[in-house]
């Protein structure tokens, strides 16, 4: 113990000398708690090195040298342990860099960065871009990202042997700088499993330790991802008499089951494990049921009560929806949808977003000149005649003549915003449009009256996205001010404010049962929020760049998210884990949409393609095996290339016709 | 250290009226400028993404500046590309060339055409998962071709109406082979290597991809090299070898080859020296033409008729040169005795009357011309004789008649018979 105290005092003195306040604080915490995952203190060798470290000159070359040695050692290490050891390199790299900057060796920091940053470009290019700009101590303090890196330890799961190897190496080579960095910033979670078994887990290395802890805590919260009780689809089944009596009773049994399970889970102190087990039971139940030779959309999902008071639907609307549901085309991997593509022409690079109404009859475009334009496709058809190319000429010429009077345009022009319109959304019935803009407001427009009804002010920065809830009346918005907000049409103040993202909230999407919203952010996470309480209930970590699009499966069980690099990830909402990443797009995924029975996922991208993915294969596999494994399981069914038109939005109609919209651009 | 050089800071300082900025200050400002710039660009990228674009524009930068409550930079939104110029005397200093514009010109200039208004058109991208081949969709071939992924975006660049040219991929070996053969043909057509090359052309099995290139090469060189006798002969040999090759499917290219071959047969002048034995070339080409007709006559019904028509026209036109007549006769003769009987024999008498003055020493002073005429006379004799002989082969027991039949019609020139025989013998 004496030895240890000596060490501590040395360290404390050293840290004080160097002005490492945070580290000093940490050390104190460590001393108080005595609960470090690895016992550094009783290791005499280590103490010696720390001793040595405190005495040695803070030689800048040590970082460069030490890192390059560590790097070559890692690359030449045994294959079995190599990938684990490689994980250590990145945190060591960025912290060494930041150490150098913090000590004021800016020139050296830059050369160090340039020498080694290529190793990490593939995995962490976004972070590196941010860090590259850090050129002085003040930047380090100012930059949020750097702060959070400095304050938190990196968690790395590593197997016992690799850990021993690493320590041995560090001891032998006396590379104190590296040892210092590793001690200060990395938190090893040494496990006794085989080295290969923790290879492909995305959560193995998480840069922001506390965030990860919080995320795993949050992800244990219970969520009810089932569909709403008494939904129209359910009613259709009962009404149509599609269910035989035996099945009905079975369904009832199942619902009883669900109630039971809820009770049990409450009793079990909301243990994630128990719910998961129940889910599995249910899944087995569901697969057993789907094995029957019936092809109707059997909702395996449990029913939940709505937490919001839902608007009442008129009977006519209900009838028309029921009619649509009856006439729905069944889609599967062998029955692909028809795709109708709306091409915007002559936008002069000004189109920021587009949106398609539920039945595809209305198309809205938000422009950077603050205008919102809505096309009625039914009218367009009349005007243009049968041939679309002909129509193009017709409409342009007629507009040319009648343009100045503003009488005969092919679209309805909505003007009111004072900044670029970044998003637009149709209400489920198509009678309202919401648009969000850089002028920080959201505006509600009526397509019947062709007028602005309400202006919702609440955000402090540009509103990136706005989405109507599946039942209408409520809507969610997301903004540069790092919040997402829930609104109802009849109030000009938001009902809920969801705060927690570390950067812009770029996109928002409602869950099928309206009890949750999902938000995607530039901090590369997706969060799921409870609408009623406003709490974050899930954090999905795994994307490597800004998230641009989100979609919820109609059964409420899965979520898809697309990012800037073209990666799409499928998430299981109940576990908070990625089912499988979908690779294929080469550029930004602007839009995602699930088919109405949830068998297909459509994705539209800046690489001018619409891709169709088979979702059933992936979602069934984890049910049976309860393990997310082979990433090839979710297969791309079809790539539909457009003619130099990046795909801006996608929408499945209730009858499963896919609508897509894009802008014809010459320089893609 | 920083990517913003010290000089830039100094220039910026001067532009806002600080003339005596110290070096140290500039040096310590540079990193901060870089950091701020990166910050702005990061925000600008966000704006770009939300405008659904993949190309950063000045609007995005303005948007980012707005987010930071900074006055946007005015004057860059015109859309045209910015021309940066290097400042004289400074290494890393650039400025935008801002030319003076007379206000009067701007006011008096006619209004530009109003841009077209935005419109939406609708088409089927896919029907039950299958993309219909309509002009609104990307061409199907273009989608299938770049399967290796990297060139995927390129296909989108094409405007609506242009069809993609089919790219013909030649292996490196074939390219080398082609280069070698053409070089031999052009330069060393008398070497033994060329002979071997011809054998290779006639027998190798993998040459089919080169056929279009060879046909092009031949027609090109023939049209350019009419003065070069040895080149023409070499080219005809190449054609011959290609025709011999059993693995080559040459029919589709015949229409390109035939004109050059016929040119070598009936052209007025082949080669530019007297020593050039163009007769031999014509004889060879005649054989070539005949073999082509024999091989492909049944595939192209019109091939032989068209050919004979061309040749006959050449023969019966008194304005044509004698060399052309020679080629025509040779060509017709090579096509077989029947052709000769049907086309030459009926015209023999009027033609001989035409030829007669050229043959006689007293009427045609030009020795060259006379020689040519005799040459024609020889082939005519041979062709006619051959034809009659073939005819009479069917009547074996009449031995003495054929000679008589010939001599009878040629009474006038009997005196010259030995010469003719000599010529015959020499060939």
* Chain B residues touching residue A608 (CB < 8 angstroms): 138, 153, 156
**B116 contacts A346? CB cut-off 8 A:** yes
What are the CB-based long-range contacts (under 8 Å, 24+) for B347-354? B347/B312, B347/B315, B347/B316, B348/B380, B348/B384, B348/B409, B349/B409, B351/B315, B351/B316, B351/B380, B352/B380, B354/B318
What does the domain layout of chain A look like in residue ranges?
60-191, 339-379+408-618+633-663
Full-prediction pTM beyond 0.90? no
CA-based nearest residue in chain A for residue B150? A586
In chain B, what is the greatest distance between 2 CA atoms, to the nearest angstrom?
A: 125
CA-based nearest residue in chain A for residue B57? A349
Whether B80 contacts chain A with CB within 8 A = no
Band of residue A88 on the pLDDT scale cut at 50, 70, 90 = confident
Give the tens place of pLDDT for each residue, B403-414: 555 554 444 544
How close B197 comes to chain A (CA, Å)?
A: 48
**B118 contacts A344? CB cut-off 8 A:** yes
SS3 A475: strand
CA-based nearest residue in chain B for residue A144? B39
How close A20 comes to chain B (CA, Å)?
A: 23
**Cβ-based contacts under 8 A for chains A and B:** 204
Among B24, B67, B129, B143, the strongest candidate for a mutation testing the A interface, having the largest count of A CBs within 10 A, is B129
**A338 contacts B124? CB cut-off 8 A:** yes
| φ/ψ bin of B75: left (φ > 0), alpha (ψ from -120 to 50), beta (otherwise) | left
* Chain A residues touching residue B66 (CB < 8 angstroms): 438
Whether B38 contacts chain A with CB within 8 A = yes
CA-based nearest residue in chain B for residue A612? B129
Whether B263 has a pLDDT exceeding 80, the answer reads yes
Contact predicate A610/A660, CB 8 Å = yes
Closest CA to A610 of B370, B188, B143, B240: B143
Structural domains of chain B ordered from first start: 6-97 (1.10.20.10), 172-394 (1.25.40.770)
Whether B218 has a pLDDT exceeding 70, the answer reads yes
Q: Which residues 383-402 of chain B have a CB within 8 Å of chain A?
A: none
Band of residue B85 on the pLDDT scale cut at 50, 70, 90 = confident
For A206, residues 6+ apart whose C-beta sits below 8 A from its C-beta are A154, A155, A212, A541
Q: How many Å apart are CA B333 and CA B327, to the nearest integer?
A: 10
Contact predicate B119/A345, CB 8 Å = yes
* Chain B residues touching residue A657 (CB < 8 angstroms): none
CA-based nearest residue in chain B for residue A607? B153
Q: How many Å apart are CA B236 and CA B222, to the nearest integer?
A: 9
Q: What is the pLDDT of residue A454?
A: 94
Out of B121, B127, B130, closest to residue A388 by CB: B121
* Chain B residues touching residue A341 (CB < 8 angstroms): 122-125, 136
Give the tens place of pLDDT for each residue, A1-12: 556 677 777 777
Band of residue A167 on the pLDDT scale cut at 50, 70, 90 = confident
Pairing of strands A303-304, A227-228: parallel
Q: How many Å apart are CA A341 and CA A645, to the nearest integer?
A: 10
Give the tens place of pLDDT for each residue, B349-386: 888 887 787 777 777 777 777 888 888 888 888 888 88
Give the tens place of pLDDT for each residue, B102-115: 888 888 888 888 88
SS3 A118: helix
* Chain B residues touching residue A346 (CB < 8 angstroms): 115-119
**B131 contacts A660? CB cut-off 8 A:** no
Out of A136, A338, A641, closest to residue B138 by CB: A641
Closest CA to A303 of A237, A240, A358: A237
Give the tens place of pLDDT for each residue, A417-439: 999 999 999 999 889 999 999 99
| φ/ψ bin of A336: left (φ > 0), alpha (ψ from -120 to 50), beta (otherwise) | beta
Whether B125 contacts chain A with CB within 8 A = yes
Whether A203 has a pLDDT exceeding 80, the answer reads no
Out of B63, B122, B124, closest to residue A377 by CB: B122
**B133 class by beta-carbon count within 10 Å (0-12 exposed, 13-18 middle, 19+ buried):** exposed
**A590 contacts B52? CB cut-off 8 A:** yes
**B35 contacts A133? CB cut-off 8 A:** yes
| Residue with token string 């692909």 | A336
Give the tens place of pLDDT for each residue, B171-213: 888 888 888 888 888 887 778 888 888 888 888 888 888 888 8
How close B101 comes to chain A (CA, Å)?
A: 26
How many alpha carbons fall within 13 Å on the CB side of residue B295? 16
Whether B162 contacts chain A with CB within 8 A = no
Whether B370 contacts chain A with CB within 8 A = no
Out of A389, A480, A586, closest to residue B152 by CB: A586
Contact predicate A605/A588, CB 8 Å = yes
| Residue with token string 């079975």 | A250
**What angle (nearest 5°) sits at the alpha carbon of residue B385, between those of residues B381 and B387?**
125
Out of B59, B115, B129, closest to residue A346 by CB: B115
Band of residue A42 on the pLDDT scale cut at 50, 70, 90 = low
For A449, residues 6+ apart whose C-beta sits below 8 A from its C-beta are none
Among B44, B50, B139, B144, the strongest candidate for a mutation testing the A interface, having the largest count of A CBs within 10 A, is B50
Q: How many Å apart are CA B79 and CA B59, to the nearest integer?
A: 10
CA B91 vs CA A42, A102, B2, B14: distances in Å: 60, 32, 17, 17
CA-based nearest residue in chain A for residue B4? A133
Angle between helices A60-75 and A176-185 (to 10 degrees): 80
CA-based nearest residue in chain B for residue A637? B129
| Residue with token string 């008494």 | A230
How close A158 comes to chain B (CA, Å)?
A: 34
Q: How many Å apart are CA A219 and CA B176, to the nearest integer?
A: 65
How many alpha carbons fall within 13 Å on the CB side of residue B79? 3
Can A60-191 and A339-379+408-618+633-663 be said to share one CATH topology? no
How close A357 comes to chain B (CA, Å)?
A: 15
Q: Which residue has the higher pLDDT, A24 or A618?
A: A24
Tell me the average pLDDT across B47-59. 90
In chain A, pLDDT over 90 holds for what percent of residues? 28
* Chain A residues touching residue B2 (CB < 8 angstroms): 135
**B34 contacts A411? CB cut-off 8 A:** no
Q: What is the pLDDT of residue B82?
A: 73
**A610 contacts B119? CB cut-off 8 A:** no
Tell me the average pLDDT across B14-33. 85
Whether B138 contacts chain A with CB within 8 A = yes
**B50 contacts A506? CB cut-off 8 A:** yes
What strands, in cross-sheet order, belong to the sheet with A339-345? A647-652, A658-663, A339-345, B119-126
Among B125, B139, B145, B151, the strongest candidate for a mutation testing the A interface, having the largest count of A CBs within 10 A, is B125
Contact predicate B85/B97, CB 8 Å = yes
How close B152 comes to chain A (CA, Å)?
A: 9
Q: Which fold has domain A339-379+408-618+633-663?
A: Methylamine Dehydrogenase; Chain H (2.130.10)
Whether B151 contacts chain A with CB within 8 A = no
**A363 contacts B120? CB cut-off 8 A:** yes
Whether B63 contacts chain A with CB within 8 A = yes
**A345 contacts B121? CB cut-off 8 A:** yes
* Chain A residues touching residue B31 (CB < 8 angstroms): 106, 135-136, 139
Contact predicate B225/B269, CB 8 Å = no
| Residue with token string 């031995």 | B399
Cα A541 → chain centroid: 7
Tell me the average pLDDT across A76-85. 76
Give the tens place of pLDDT for each residue, A339-394: 999 999 888 888 999 999 988 899 999 999 999 999 998 876 555 433 333 333 33
Q: Which CATH number applies to A60-191?
A: 1.25.40.500
Q: How many Å apart are CA A317 and CA B72, to the nearest integer?
A: 49
**What angle (nearest 5°) sits at the alpha carbon of residue A61, between those of residues A58 and A63?**
80
* Chain B residues touching residue A438 (CB < 8 angstroms): 63, 66
Pairing of strands A536-541, A647-652: unpaired
Q: How many Å apart are CA B362 and CA B384, to the nearest integer?
A: 27
Out of A348, A375, A610, closest to residue B115 by CB: A348
**B121 contacts A135? CB cut-off 8 A:** no
CA-based nearest residue in chain A for residue B59? A368
* Both tokens assigned to A620: 């069934």
Task: Quickly list H helices, B360-410.
Answer: 367-393, 401-409
Whether A300 has a pLDDT exceeding 60, the answer reads no
């Amino acid at each position: 113990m004496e030895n240890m105290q000596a060490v501590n005092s040395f360290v404390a003195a050293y840290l004080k000398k160097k002005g490492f306040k945070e580290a000093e604080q940490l050390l104190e915490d460590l001393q108080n708690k005595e609960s470090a995952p690895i016992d550094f203190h009783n290791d005499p060798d280590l103490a010696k090195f720390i001793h040595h470290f405190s005495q040695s000159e803070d030689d800048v070359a040590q970082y460069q040298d030490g890192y390059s040695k560590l790097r070559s050692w890692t690359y030449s290490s045994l294959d079995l342990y190599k990938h684990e050891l490689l994980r250590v390199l990145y945190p060591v790299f960025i912290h060494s860099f930041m150490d150098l900057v913090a000590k004021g060796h800016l020139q050296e920091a830059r050369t160090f960065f340039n020498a080694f940053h290529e190793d990490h470009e593939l995995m962490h290019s976004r972070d590196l871009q941010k860090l590259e700009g850090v050129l002085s101590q003040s930047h380090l303090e100012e930059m949020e990202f750097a702060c959070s890196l400095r304050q938190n330890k990196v968690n790395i799961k590593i197997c016992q042997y690799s850990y021993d190897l690493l320590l041995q190496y560090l001891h032998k080579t006396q590379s104190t700088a590296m040892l210092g960095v590793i001690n200060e910033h990395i938190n090893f979670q040494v496990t006794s499993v085989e080295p290969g078994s923790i290879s492909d887990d995305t959560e193995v290395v998480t840069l922001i330790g506390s965030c990860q802890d919080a995320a795993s805590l949050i992800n244990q919260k219970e969520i009810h991802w089932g569909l709403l009780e008494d939904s129209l689809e359910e009613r259709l089944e009962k009404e149509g008499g599609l269910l035989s009596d035996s099945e009905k009773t079975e369904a009832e049994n199942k619902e009883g089951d669900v109630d039971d399970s809820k009770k049990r889970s409450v009793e079990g102190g909301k243990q994630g494990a128990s719910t998961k087990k129940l889910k599995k039971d249910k899944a087995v139940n569901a697969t057993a049921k789907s094995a029957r030779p019936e092809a109707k959309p059997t909702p395996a999902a449990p029913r939940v009560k709505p937490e919001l008071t839902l608007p009442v639907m008129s009977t006519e609307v209900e009838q028309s929806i029921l009619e649509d549901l009856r006439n729905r085309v069944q889609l599967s991997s062998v029955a692909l949808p028809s795709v109708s593509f709306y091409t915007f022409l002559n936008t002069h690079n000004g189109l920021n977003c587009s949106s398609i109404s539920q039945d595809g009859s209305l198309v809205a475009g938000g422009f950077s000149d603050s205008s919102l334009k809505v096309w009625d496709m039914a009218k367009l058809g009349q005007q243009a005649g049968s041939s679309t190319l002909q129509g193009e000429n017709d409409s342009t010429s007629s507009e040319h003549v009648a343009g100045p009077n503003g009488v005969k345009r092919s679209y309805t022009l909505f003007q009111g915003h004072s900044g670029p319109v970044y998003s637009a959304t149709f209400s489920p019935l198509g009678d309202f449009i919401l648009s969000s803009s850089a002028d920080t407001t959201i505006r509600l427009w009526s397509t019947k009256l062709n007028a602005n009804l309400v202006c919702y002010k609440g955000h402090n920065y540009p509103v990136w996205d706005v989405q109507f809830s599946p039942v209408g009346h409520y809507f969610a918005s997301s903004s540069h001010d790092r919040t997402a907000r829930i609104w109802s049409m009849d109030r000009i103040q938001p009902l809920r404010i969801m705060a927690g993202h570390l950067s812009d909230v770029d996109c928002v999407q409602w869950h099928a049962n309206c009890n949750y919203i999902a938000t995607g952010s530039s901090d590369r996470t997706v969060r799921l929020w409870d609408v009623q309480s406003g709490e974050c209930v899930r954090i999905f970590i795994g994307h490597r760049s800004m998230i641009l699009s989100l979609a919820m499966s109609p059964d409420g069980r899965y979520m898809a998210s697309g990012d800037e690099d073209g990666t799409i990830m499928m998430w299981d909402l109940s576990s908070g884990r990625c089912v499988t990443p979908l690779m294929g797009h080469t550029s930004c995924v602007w839009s995602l949409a699930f088919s109405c029975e949830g068998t297909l996922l459509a994705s539209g991208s800046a690489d001018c393609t619409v891709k169709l993915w088979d979702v059933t294969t992936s979602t069934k596999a984890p049910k049976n095996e309860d393990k997310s494994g082979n990433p090839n399981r979710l297969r791309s069914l079809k790539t539909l290339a457009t003619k130099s038109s990046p795909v801006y939005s996608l929408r499945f109609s209730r009858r499963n016709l896919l609508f897509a919209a894009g802008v014809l651009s010459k320089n893609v | 250290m920083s990517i913003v050089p010290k000089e830039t800071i100094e220039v910026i300082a001067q532009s806002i009226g600080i003339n005596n900025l110290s070096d140290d200050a500039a040096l310590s400002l540079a990193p901060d400028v870089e950091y701020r710039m990166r910050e702005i660009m990061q925000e600008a990228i966000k704006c770009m993404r939300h405008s659904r674009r993949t190309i950063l524009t000045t609007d995005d930068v303005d948007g980012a500046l707005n987010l930071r409550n900074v006055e946007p930079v005015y004057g860059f939104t015109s859309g045209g590309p910015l021309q940066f110029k290097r400042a004289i005397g400074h290494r890393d200093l650039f400025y935008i060339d801002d030319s003076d514009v007379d206000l009067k010109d701007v006011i008096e200039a006619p209004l530009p055409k109003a841009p077209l208004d935005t419109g939406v058109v609708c088409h089927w991208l896919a029907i039950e998962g299958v993309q219909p081949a309509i002009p609104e969709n990307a061409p199907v071939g273009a989608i299938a071709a770049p399967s290796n992924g990297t060139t995927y975006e390129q296909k989108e660049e094409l405007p609506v109406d242009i069809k993609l040219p089919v790219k013909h991929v030649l292996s490196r070996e074939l390219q080398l082979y082609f280069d070698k053969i053409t070089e031999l043909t052009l330069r060393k057509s008398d070497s033994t290597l060329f002979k071997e090359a011809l054998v290779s052309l006639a027998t190798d099995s993998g040459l089919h991809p080169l056929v279009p290139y060879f046909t092009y090469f031949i027609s090109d060189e023939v049209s350019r090299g009419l003065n070069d006798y040895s080149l023409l002969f070499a080219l005809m040999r190449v054609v011959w070898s290609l025709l011999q090759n059993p693995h080559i499917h040459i029919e589709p290219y015949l229409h390109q080859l035939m004109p050059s071959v016929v040119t070598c047969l009936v052209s007025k002048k082949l080669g530019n020296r007297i020593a050039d034995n163009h007769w031999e070339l014509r004889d060879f080409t005649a054989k070539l033409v005949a073999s082509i007709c024999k091989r492909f006559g049944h595939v192209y019904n019109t091939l032989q008729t068209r050919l004979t028509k061309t040749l006959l026209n050449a023969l019966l036109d008194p304005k044509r040169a004698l060399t052309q007549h020679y080629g025509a006769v040779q060509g017709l003769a090579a096509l077989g005795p029947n052709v000769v009987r049907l086309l030459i024999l009926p015209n023999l008498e009027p033609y001989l009357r035409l030829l007669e003055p050229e043959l006689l020493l007293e009427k045609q002073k030009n020795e060259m011309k006379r020689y040519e005429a005799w040459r024609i006379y020889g082939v005519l004799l041979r062709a006619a004789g051959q034809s009659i002989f073939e005819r009479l082969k069917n009547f074996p027991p009449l031995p003495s008649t054929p000679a008589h039949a010939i001599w009878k019609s040629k009474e006038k020139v009997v005196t010259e018979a030995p010469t003719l025989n000599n010529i015959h013998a020499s060939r």
